[in-house]
Chain A
Amino acid sequence: MKKVLIGNDAIIKAALVSGVSFVSGYPGCPAAEIGDDFAKIVKGPDGYSNVYVEWATNEKTGLESAIGASFSGLKSLVSMKSFGINVCSDALLPLAYTGTKAPMVIVIADDPSCWSSAQTEQNSRGYAYLSHIPMLEPSDPQECYDFTKLAYEMSEKFNTPVILHTTTRVNHQKMPVVFEEIERGGQFKKGEFVKNHHQFSTMPPRVMEMKKELLEKVKKIQAYAEKAKINKITGNKKSKVGIIVSGVSYLHTMEALDMMDLDIPVLKLGFFYPLPKEKIAKFLSPLKKVLVVEELDGYLEREIAGLAGIEKIKVEIFGKDLLSEIGELDSEKIAVALAKITGKKFTAGKVSKMDLPKRTARLCEGCPYWYVFPVLKRVAPDAIFAGDIGCNMIAGLAPHNMQDTLFCMGASLGISHGIKKSTNQKVISIMGDGTFFHSGMSSLVNSVYNGSNPLLVILDNRITAMTGHQPNPGMGKTLMGDTTEELRIEEIAKACGVKNIKVLDPINMQELEGTVREFLSKDEPSLIVCKRICALLAKRQAKATK
């Protein structure tokens, strides 16, 4: 079948055709639709699903669930955005040591240029070195499909998880994709966990043997990478200038070559780790100059420079000196770099400076947060506002301009505790419901346990909104639509030892104001849950019941 597919859907199709039966992860842009859309299409015409799909409470629990599934013989898919790999890395590294039993593919989606990301412009490729887990980099939706299939084959062959590393321009790129559609439905087949602590437990001294086994495995995978078709060479091999490229930059590179009417050899690397070093050395040896085209950090460039040194290949290597480490690449940037190396002329399109007011993200019409931000500012103009990830980070933009810190999921309260311990200032931590379940809970325990008194304001809009409305543990519904226990934030806080708790509808601004005033004078941690449904969700629900 051939249809226009977005990168994320191509990954889903490939996972289905590869026989995946356990799907987990945590929603983050640009990977969020992988879990969402999987859940939408997974049931067959018979109303059953032979694939289980869940959103975990965070990336670490998501990966751990898949590890359990893999050890029980089920093929799994885990998806998350860039920062997710930081959260799950504690489980990821030992997984390389134990290896998988049934195949597992982990999708890590970076966001160069930070289109949908606060925090950092993270380049998650570095985790391949840290973990010794093979990493593939597709450039378009067709490759998302083909590489995911290959990743499952590799995982099966080598008993290792395989990371599919994507970026926003790959996940959210559309093109006609050739794929196989498989019939859905039927009963979910359970696996069996066959005990094997020798393989599944990383206790010392066994762990040291495991490391040795892992490194031997990586050597075998490298030999496999040398022959893999996804590392391919195109273009005129007689030219003395060449290009080595990975990911979406390949598409921009081919475009740049077209624009400049250049025909030079291009080595496109589908493998980021382990690298096909012999293939690269062979590609380099006839060249005088090579441009390494990759987004953000120059990992490939450094590897290739090292390789050229060891192999004594006399080739001039260009990369991050001509292509910035900051922001995503495009055809023009690459053409400008090529012009410098080849001497061929290229004039970039003219852009006139417009000097227009910036239209930044803002709270939606009717968003419950509109009631909360002004009250907090009015009651405590001198307070420090620690922000968190989610729609509430719009507090940092005009007209609110009230976000004094912003780090990562759950960090608002952790940082608030530290400020409270270090100063006599008022501190208000602002967090969404999804973030509280993700990692805010452990910071709350820390504040109570170590005795500080920040005010935590949870903006409970009854859903994980920013990433596209995913269910979370506060809703009483799972991703597959089943009813489950509805966890109450106030009850969790009470069990954690929080003494001052108030649940209110923020539309009652006077009540909110009084509570903020009262709680700011307390000596122990306090919590206000501002409970009101996301305006978009309310609208959608009203439409659905019409």
Chain B
Amino acid sequence: MINKNFNIVLSGVGGQGIITLLQVIDEAAFVEGYDVKSSELHGLSQRGGSVEAHIRFGKKVNSPMVSSGTADLVIALEALEGLRESGKAGKDTKIIINEYFLPFLNSLSKEEITQRLKDSKKNFQMVPASEECKNKLQNEVVCTLYMLGYAVANNLIPLKEGSVLQAIKNVIPDRYLELNEKAFLLPKNGK
């Protein structure tokens, strides 16, 4: 049991699967017996724009929103969105960023994003989630579960592997279950 509430911010681009990732984390925290609250956005915000979702779990959670600077972990599914979040990261915030670039009109180049992340001096790690999932599972959408698997395998999130696997079973429809489990376990097995 953790003593202090654990705060997570998920960020990415609408359509990348943030809500499914949130559902799995919520469920895993619930499986471990924590109180959990989360907040997500639907509708217009899902149509290819920047999306941010919040999750907090612990003994007792009041607000579902993570205040700026208080995130323990940021999981960014896209590089520029990871950079965007780094502005709100506090000194204890760990950021893991999917090494995936989804450009748009007037967006920054890959090099600029990488440079600015380095300059930010924030505690971040780039994770080849999309690439690994594409190469080894022929499916990029499950990069969400890969990112979570990376966080669990590297002790960046106080959730047990077993709880997450149980959560995946509870949340993901049967036909996609195996694929999601594989994506989640890939970072550990691929080490």
Q: Which residues of A contact B (CB under 8 A)?
A: 3-4, 29-30, 32-33, 115-118, 140, 168-169, 172-176, 251-252, 254-255, 258-259, 330-332, 348-354, 356-364, 391, 394, 398-399, 466-468
Chain A residues whose CB sits within 8 angstroms of the CB of B61 once the complex forms: 175
Q: Are B80 and A466 in contact (CB under 8 A)?
A: no
Contacts of A391 in B (CB 8 A): 47
Query: Does B50 make an interface contact (CB < 8 A)?
Result: yes
The closest CB in chain B to the CB of A251 belongs to: B63
Take A4-B27, A359-B80, A361-B48 as given contacts and tell me if A115 and B43 are in contact as well, using a CB distance cutoff of 8 Å: yes
A300 to B45, CA, bound (A): 30
Within 8 A of A (CB), among B34-77: 35-45, 47-50, 61-65, 67-70
Across the interface, do A364 and B47 meet the contact criterion of CB distance under 8 Å?
yes
Q: Which residue of B lies closest to A28 (CB)?
A: B43
Closest 6 A/B residue pairs (Cβ): A349-B69, A29-B43, A116-B43, A349-B68, A255-B63, A361-B47
- Interface pair B68/A332, CB less than 8 Å apart: yes
Q: Please give, as numbers and ranges, the residues of chain A lying within 8 Å of B37 by CB-CB distance.
A: 140, 173-175, 251
Minimum CB distance partner of A118 in chain B: B44
Interface pair B67/A330, CB less than 8 Å apart:
yes
Bound Cα distance A350, B71 (Å): 12
Query: CA–CA, A330 to B40, complex, Å?
Result: 15
Which B175-190 residues have C-beta < 8 A from chain A?
Answer: none
- In the complex, what's the smallest C-beta–C-beta distance from A495 to chain B, in angstroms? 33
Question: A334 to B181, alpha carbons, bound, how many Å?
Answer: 41
Q: Which residue of B lies closest to A353 (CB)?
A: B87
| A347 (CB) vs chain B CBs: closest residue | B69
CA distance A169 to B66 in the complex (A): 13
| Nearest B-chain residue to A250, judged by Cβ | B62
* Structural contact, B69 and A351, CB atoms closer than 8 A: yes
Contact B67 A251 (CB under 8 A): no
User: B62 touches which one: A172, A176, A254, A358 (CB < 8 A)?
Assistant: A254
Q: Pick the contact of A251 from B26, B62, B87, B105 — CB < 8 Å?
A: B62
Given contacts A251-B64, A354-B87, contact A173 B15 (CB under 8 A): no
Q: With A357-B107, A359-B13 in contact, do A116 and B65 touch (Cβ < 8 Å)? A: no
29 pairs, CB–CB < 8 Å, chain A vs chain B: A29-B43, A115-B41, A115-B45, A116-B41, A118-B44, A173-B39, A174-B26, A174-B37, A175-B37, A175-B61, A175-B64, A251-B37, A251-B63, A252-B62, A252-B65, A330-B63, A349-B69, A351-B69, A354-B84, A359-B13, A359-B49, A359-B80, A359-B104, A360-B49, A362-B48, A363-B48, A398-B106, A399-B105, A468-B43
State whether B44 touches A172 (Cβ < 8 A).
no
Closest Cβ neighbor of A536 among chain B residues: B15
Which residues in B have some Cβ–Cβ distance to A below 8 Å?
13-15, 22-23, 26-27, 30, 35-45, 47-50, 61-65, 67-70, 80-81, 83-84, 86-88, 90, 104-108
Alpha-carbon distance between A255 and B47 when the two chains are bound, in angstroms: 31
Task: Choose one: B42, B87, B107; the contact of A351 (CB below 8 Å).
Answer: B87
Are the CB atoms of A176 and B48 closer together than 8 Å? no
The listed residue with most A CB atoms (<10 A of its CB), out of B26, B45, B67, is: B67
Looking at the assembled complex, report how far the CB atom of B43 sits from the nearest CB atom of chain A, in whole angstroms. 3
| In the bound complex, CA of A172 to CA of B65 (Å) | 12
Q: Which residues of A contact B88 (CB under 8 A)?
A: 349, 351
- State whether A349 and B43 are in contact (beta carbons under 8 Å apart), knowing that A354-B83, A362-B104 are contacts in the complex: no
A175 — which chain B residues lie within 8 A by C-beta?
Answer: 35-38, 61, 64
CB distance from A56 to the nearest CB of B (A): 19
Instruction: Please name all residues of chain B whose beta carbon is closer than 8 Å to the beta carbon of A349 when the two chains form the complex.
Output: 67-70, 88, 90
How far apart sit A491 and B56, CA to CA, in the bound complex (Å)? Answer: 53
Pick from A331, A357, A358: contact of B67, CB below 8 A.
Answer: A331
A364 touches B69 (CB 8 A): no
How far apart sit A258 and B41, CA to CA, in the bound complex (Å)?
Answer: 26
Instruction: Across the interface, name the chain B residue whose C-beta is closest to A27.
Output: B43
- Given known contacts A4-B26, A169-B65, A356 and B80 CB-to-CB distance under 8 angstroms: yes
B62 touches A350 (CB 8 A): no
Task: Give bound CA distance, A135 to B108, whole Å.
Answer: 47
Distance between Cα atoms of A468 and B105 in the complex (Å): 26
User: CB-nearest residue of chain A relative to B81?
Assistant: A359
B30 cross-chain contacts in A, Cβ below 8 A: 3-4, 176
Chain B residues, Cβ within 8 Å of A353: 87
| A254–B37 CA distance with the chains assembled, in angstroms | 14
Say yes or no: A356-B84 contact (C-beta < 8 A), given A169-B64, A169-B65, A173-B39: yes
Contacting pair B62 A255 (CB below 8 A): yes
For B86, the chain A residues whose CB sits under 8 A away are 354
19 other A-B residue contacts (CB within 8 Å) besides A172-B40, A251-B37, A349-B88: A32-B42, A117-B44, A174-B26, A174-B36, A251-B63, A252-B65, A254-B63, A255-B62, A330-B65, A349-B70, A350-B69, A351-B69, A354-B86, A356-B84, A359-B81, A361-B14, A361-B45, A363-B47, A364-B15
Residues of A within 8 A of B62 (CB): 251-252, 254-255, 258, 331
Whole-angstrom distance between the alpha carbons of A3 and B40 in the complex? 18
Whole-angstrom distance from the CB of A23 to the nearest CB of chain B? 19
A29 partner, pick from B23, B35, B42, beta carbons under 8 A:
B42
How many whole Å from B40's CB to the nearest CB in chain A?
A: 5
Expressed in whole angstroms, the minimum distance between the Cβ of B76 and any Cβ of chain A is 13
In whole Å, how far is B8's beta carbon from the nearest beta carbon of chain A? 13
Residues of chain A contacted by B45 (CB below 8 angstroms): 115-116, 361
